[in-house]
Every structure is written in C-alpha cells, then in structure tokens.
Amino acid sequence: MLAAMTGRLVVSLKSAAVALVAALAVGAGPARPASLATEPVLRIETGGHTALALGLAPSADGSRVATASTDRTVRIWSLPKLELERTIYLPAGSDLQGSASSAAFSPDGKSLATGGWIGSWDRDDGPWCVYILDVGAADIQRSLCDLPKRAHHMTYSPDGAFFLVSLKDAGGLRVYRTSDYGLVAEDKDYADIATWVDVDAAGRVVTCALDGKVRLYDKDFRRIAIATMPEDRKPITVSFAPDGTRIAVGYAEPEGNDPLWPPAVDVLNATDLTVAYRPDTRGIDNGTLWRLAWSADGKVLYAGGTWQKANRYPIRRWADGGRGRPLDIAAANNRIVRIRTLPTGGVAFVTEVPYMGVIGANDRVVAERKITTADYTDLTDKLAVSRDGLHVTGQLLVRQAPARGRRGAGRRSTRAADHRRSGARRPRLVVELPPDLERPAVAHAPARPGAHHGDRARQEEFPARHQLGDHPL
C-alpha cells in the first residue's frame, strides 16, 4: 500500500526551498514572477492528474496526446499506451488561479498552447493569458496576455499559420498569426460563451456558442454564415468532417428555464449550416451527447457525455459518417467531458473524475489512465517533518492502485519503522525530497507578486459552474 504514494514531491518552503526554486529558474528567461510565495506550497506527484482535466489535445502525427488540468499541470502522454512522457508545472496562485482547462498542439508538435484561469492574478476582470509551451524544453516559451476574457477552447490552423481562441463571457473569437502571435482578426458579436472552435483543411473556421448560434468563417476570417440551432438548442461542440463537407454539432444539457430537450446530435452542411441529418439517438433517454469527434477518415462519428447506460457512460459510434446504425461502447464510469480524433485511428477521451482512455479501431478501450490519489481527510495530526526538512511522514488512506514512479523521483523508505501500521491500520506515508527537484515552468510567466510554482496542498472539488463563474465544460 505504501507504494501507492511513491512519487516526486514538488515543494516550496520558506527561505531555503524558495531560494532553491528561484535558483533553478535562473536562465529560464527574463519574464518570470517578480517574487515567489513565502507560504509553503506542497504537491505530491502521483504520475497523473489529481483534478479535472478539460484540456485534451492529440498531436498531428498521432504519437502523443496532451492533457491540461485544474491541478495546474499539463501532461504529455505517448500513444498508443498512454505512458507519461512529461509533466509541465504551471505558475499557480490562490484558489483557481493558474488552472488550465484547454490545450492545443501546433501542427509540428513543437509547441503546445494552454489556457484557463491564467494571467489575471488576484483579479477577475482580465486581461487573461495563454501560455505557449515549448514541448522539448517543458517550459513556457511565450505568454499571450491580451485576452479580454478567459480562453475556453483553442486550436491551430492545419498549416500552423494561425492560432485561434474562443472566449468565455461573450468574449467571442480571436485569431493570432503564429509568426509573432499578433492579433489579426476577432469577432466580438457573441452573446454568451464561445464554447468551441475548429478549422478545416481549407482554412475555414466554425465556432459555436451558448447563445444558440453556430458561426462559419472563410479562410480570411470573414463571417459568411450564422445559424440558430434546431429547437433553440445550445451548441457546445462543433467539428468539421475531415473532407470539410459536414459539421457535427453536440449540445449542452438543459439548464434553468431551457426546454427539456431530448438528447441529440446534428450534422450540418458546411456551406450554409443547414441541417443535413440527425444521427440515430434511439435508446438514449437521459443526459446529453455534448462531446463528439469524427474518425480520421470521416467514416465514423463518435459522441458521448452525461448519458448513462447500465451504470456506465458510453460513447455512441455511428458508421457511414453518422447515418449508420449506432453501436454503444462502454467507455467510462463517469461523465465524458472531451472526445478528440486520433490521427492514427480511433479517439481519445477524458472524464470528469480524472480518467483518460483510448478507443481503438476495434471499438474497445485499448489504453487507459486512472486517477492515482490518496484520501487525506482523516490525516489529523499524524504528519511530521524531519529537522532537516527533507522527510515528510504521515498516515493516509489509499483509494486507488499504485502510481508508477520514474527514475530520479522521490522514493519510499525501506526502514522497518516506516512500514508499521497504526491502530487504525492506515498505511504510512514516507516521502523523501530528491536532490534533483524538477524545475517548474517559469520562463515568460506573467509577473505577479507572490506567484507560486507548483500547486497548493488543498482538496480540490471538481469545478462546477458556481465555482468558475460560468460553464466549465
């Protein structure tokens, strides 16, 4: 049981540890937080996310997938086995500050964009930031800090020339050229959150928003069509078919005074946004199919969300581009919050409780990563720090299978005393600080007095609408 907590301890303590983190940041770049926090900042590295991961981005070559989480990390996983390649620790502040909720790989795979509650430290009125991460260096390459509202979703154009961001709070759409990340186009004419943006091979852009509209733009980012969705539904996801002729639309769940719409997915004509057809949703009598993705060849359409069947959250698969008979794949045991196309076939998905899976061409889950955390709610006073500050020991309840450690990570002690059980028979936690603490991402992080690098040791609730101030998904 003790092995469940084997991992790297990322920590900033007063004086010595803060100085260590500051020293490690030397040479990372001139734009970094003006000062580090003086309060302790503790993070136990489990090898996986410990909070909601809404950002999900496959690389264009299909070799990797990235996830971005409210635990203030971005993680890069190899495909097809979902083995962790790299963890990038983002600058973190109090509460949700520093939380990441979106991600996008550049087409060449060298850069990874991420955004969320980033940049407007101790304020809620902006301006907000997007980090452009250097994948090879595992650090912040650039901060794009002129967003009037927080980023909700982002993508690159297939040729890599442009970076597009849809914004929360009626902020609309912004388009940047990647040569210098200068703003080249924007559309502020949105009445609610712009929840998704996608670009086809020809450079056309489609967005959707909770104002009930789907918007279509030409390759020069001029809006050429706008349509209200059937039954006044609220579109939350849009996706171009690979050939650019169709656009699939997933819808949000009814809220407040919304009509009680039955679950549905629509496929639109990509020329005028009229409805071409509606895939078969018979047998779906609860929830919604709010996330969707095409197969890489466009022959299959996948959708999932809050719909439950036999205590599972399936992903429905339609052949013939959504016109064929449905097949339900038992994918997860909690709500599906993202589905993305894998260039090599199948799809990747993440769920509300951090779980990630890959569905292969055989319509089965062929790889998965489960949450690896422990329950600290009854830790009470059974926590101690050694005089030299290099050992932390305590008791905890492990709820999940062990996380695999990696070379150079923190290690568990093999001393017999460290393996004794308490009267409550809880396993003992012993963590040793390794000498090669992994350097947090600090280069080009927006300056703000008291910024942390790492994550607060606090029990996070998975974000709900009342916590983020708007729709988190």
pLDDT band of residue 63 (cuts 50, 70, 90) is very high
Which residues is 317 bridged to in the sheet?
302, 327
Give the whole-number percent of the chain exceeding pLDDT 90.
60
List all residues 6 or more positions away from 443 whose beta carbon is below 8 Å from its beta carbon. Answer: 25, 28, 29, 31, 32, 139, 140, 141
- % of the chain with per-residue pLDDT over 70: 71
Span 332-350, average pLDDT: 94
Does residue 150 have a pLDDT over 60?
yes
Of the listed ranges 61-65, 70-74, 385-389, 443-447, the one predicted with least confidence = 443-447
User: Hey, which CATH number is domain 55-369, 3.30.70.60, 3.40.228.10, 1.10.274.10, 2.130.10.10?
Assistant: 2.130.10.10
SS3 22: helix
Segment 368-396 mean pLDDT: 69
Strands (E), 79-234: 83-89, 91-92, 99-105, 111-117, 128-134, 139-147, 151-156, 162-167, 172-177, 182-187, 194-199, 205-209, 213-217, 223-228
- Please, which pLDDT band fits residue 57 given cuts at 50, 70 and 90? very high
Q: Measure the CA–CA gap between 458 and 44, rounded to whole angstroms.
A: 11
| Average of per-residue pLDDT values in the chain | 79
Nearest to 155 by CA among 251, 222, 59: 59
Specify the pLDDT at position 21.
31
User: For residues 35 and 22, what is the distance between their CA atoms, to the nearest angstrom?
Assistant: 9
- Dihedral sign (CA 207, 208, 211, 216): positive
139-147 mean pLDDT = 94
Average pLDDT for residues 127-150, to the nearest whole number? 94
pLDDT, mean of residues 350-365: 92
pLDDT value at residue 22? 31
Which whole number is the average pLDDT over 51-71? 94
Half-sphere exposure of 193 (CA within 13 A, CB side): 20
Cα–Cα–Cα angle for 277, 280, 285, rounded to 5 degrees: 130
Give yes or no for residue 473 having a pLDDT over 50: yes
Nearest to 56 by CA among 200, 153, 145: 153
At residue 444, the pLDDT reads 57
The tokens of 272 are what?
Answer: 């005028």
pLDDT at 425 over 60: no
DSSP 183: E
Query: Tokens 């490690």 correspond to what residue?
Result: 24
pLDDT of residue 96: 80
125: three-class secondary structure by DSSP: coil
Between these two residues, 390 and 464, which has the higher pLDDT value?
A: 390
Non-local (6+) Cβ contacts of 429 within 8 A are 2, 5, 374, 392, 393, 394, 395, 396
Whether 378 has a pLDDT exceeding 90, the answer reads: no
Q: What's the token pair of residue 75?
A: 């993680």
Vertex 285: Cα angle to 279 and 286 (nearest 5): 105
Per the model's pLDDT, the better-predicted residue between 136 and 459 turns out to be 136
Q: What is the pLDDT of residue 125?
A: 77
Is the bond leading into 242 cis (omega within 30 degrees of zero)?
Answer: no
24 pLDDT exceeds 50?
no
Torsion, Cα 103 109 110 116, to 10 degrees, reads 0
Please report the pLDDT score of residue 353 as a whole number: 85
Whether residue 374 contacts residue 4, with contact meaning beta carbons closer than 8 Å, is answered with yes
- Residue tagged 């993440």 (tokens): 350
Q: What is residue 57's three-state secondary structure?
A: strand
Structure tokens at 145: 């800090």
In the numeric block, the tokens 């299959």 are attached to: 300
Question: What tens digit of pLDDT does each residue of 99-137 get?
Answer: 999 999 999 999 999 999 988 776 677 789 999 999 999
The C-alpha atoms of residue 3 and residue 236 are separated, in whole angstroms, by: 41
Indicate the burial class of 320 (C-beta count within 10 angstroms; 0-12, 13-18, 19 or more): exposed
- What is residue 461's predicted lDDT score, i.e. its pLDDT? 33
H/E run at residue 23: helix 16-25
Q: What angle do CA 116, 69, 363 make, to 5 degrees?
A: 120
Q: Which residue type sits at 284?
A: I
The pLDDT of residue 275: 98
Say if residue 227's pLDDT is above 50.
yes
Assign 19 a pLDDT band (cuts: 50, 70, 90): very low
pLDDT score, position 40: 58
Contact in structure between 446 and 121 (CB atoms under 8 Å): yes
Distance CA 165, CA 86 (A): 25
Count CB-CB contacts under 10 A for residue 188.
12
Confidence at 435, pLDDT banded by 50, 70, 90: very low
Geometric angle at alpha carbon 274, from 273 and 280, rounded to 5°: 110
What is the bridge-based pairing of β-strands 139-147 and 128-134? antiparallel
Query: Tens of pLDDT along 263-314?
Result: 999 999 999 999 999 999 999 999 999 999 999 999 999 999 999 998 899 9
- Are 6 and 434 a contacting pair, CB within 8 Å? no
Task: Give the model's pLDDT for residue 12.
Answer: 33
pLDDT of res. 115: 95
pLDDT at residue 403 tops 90: no
Pairing state of beta strands 383-385 and 391-395? antiparallel
DSSP 431: E
According to the model, what pLDDT value does residue 41 have? 62
CB atoms within 10 A of CB 349: 27
pLDDT at residue 413, as a whole number: 31
- Average pLDDT over every residue of 70-98: 90
Separation between Cα atoms, residue 119 and residue 96, nearest integer Å? 11
Q: H helices then E strands: how many in the chain? A: 2, 37
- List, by residue range, all CATH 2.130.10.10 domains of the chain: 55-369
